[in-house]
Amino acid sequence: MQPSARVATIPHMDIAIPMYDRFTALDAIGPYEVLSRLPGARVSWLAHEPGLVRTDNHMLALEATAAFEDLPTPEVIVVPGGVGTRALLDDERLLGWLRTAHVSSTWTTSVCTGSLLLGAAGILDGLRATTHWLELETLARFGAQPTSERVVPQGRVVTAAGVSSGIDMALWLAGQIAGEQFARAVQLLIEYDPQPPYDCGSTAKAGPELTAMVRERVAELR
């Protein structure tokens, strides 16, 4: 869909989504569903090697069509989170690719604990940044200033909170890239008029009891 003639002249925009074992699917698919509709968008699913990459619960596999190094200069980078980030905080191949790609990218973004990878690559040093609420303190380790806002733009670096926040981040980003009218058209096309059945999607709204319960259960599972 190209609702705006203004942006239809953009030839190509490479959007790189790096995957890894045990990433969280919605972290990646939320932004993909929005950004793939931008004029000229070409989404590339990258991994250490081309092939199937499994999500956090191993119940789903997505296809990576290229290795990280095959796309050295994407315009947009979207790093999803997931429990798999833990094993990659010193993975020089992924972190090196992130560092290099970030030099020329127009936007470098993350969803959920994807920001820990940006942090480990040195990209968040001195910046305000966010991540999944369970890992907010971890960001400080990388010189970032943790904040619990949902979408945190810092120049061309944008971090988003847990899992579902990538949709909000990507719509904001679509507005920056293709203009507000285009972004509004995409929001209507994906019928993003959220009506969550409960009002507990942040720790502030969930309250201490539910928050503590989820924190304990996640700790048990780990």
Catalytic residues: 112
Query: Taking CB under 8 A as the rule, does residue 180 contact a copy of itself?
Result: yes
Query: Taking CB under 8 A as the rule, does residue 175 contact a copy of itself?
Result: yes
How far, in Å, are 44, 62, 128, 151, 158 from residue 155 at the CA level? Answer: 24, 31, 11, 12, 8
Closer of 45 and 97 to a copy of itself (Cβ): 45
Closer of 55 and 108 to a copy of itself (Cβ): 55
The stretch among 69-77, 97-105, 119-127, 175-183 that binds a copy of itself (CB under 8 A) is 175-183
Query: Taking CB under 8 A as the rule, does residue 191 contact a copy of itself?
Result: yes
* Dist. CA 218–CA 209, nearest whole Å: 14
Beta pairing, strands 13-18 & 107-111: unpaired
Number of Cβ within 10 Å of residue 92's Cβ equals: 11
Side-chain half-sphere CA neighbours of 71 within 13 A: 28
Query: Taking CB under 8 A as the rule, does residue 33 contact a copy of itself?
Result: yes
Chosen residue from 61, 93, 140, 143 binding a copy of itself by CB under 8 A: 61
Number of Cβ within 10 Å of residue 134's Cβ equals: 16
Of 88, 155, 147, 148, nearest to 118 by C-alpha is 88
How far, in Å, are 24, 167, 215, 221 from residue 59 at the CA level? Answer: 11, 22, 23, 17
Q: Which residue has the tokens 């380790």?
A: 141
Closer of 44 and 100 to a copy of itself (Cβ): 44
Query: Taking CB under 8 A as the rule, does residue 168 contact a copy of itself?
Result: yes
State the minimum distance, in angstroms, from the CB of residue 151 to a copy of itself: 7
Query: Taking CB under 8 A as the rule, does residue 10 contact a copy of itself?
Result: no
The footprint of a copy of itself (CB under 8 A) covers: 1-3, 24-26, 29-30, 32-33, 36, 41-43, 45, 52, 57, 59-63, 112, 132-133, 150-151, 161-165, 167-168, 171-172, 175, 180-181, 183-185, 187-198, 200-203, 205-206, 210-211, 213-214, 217-218, 221
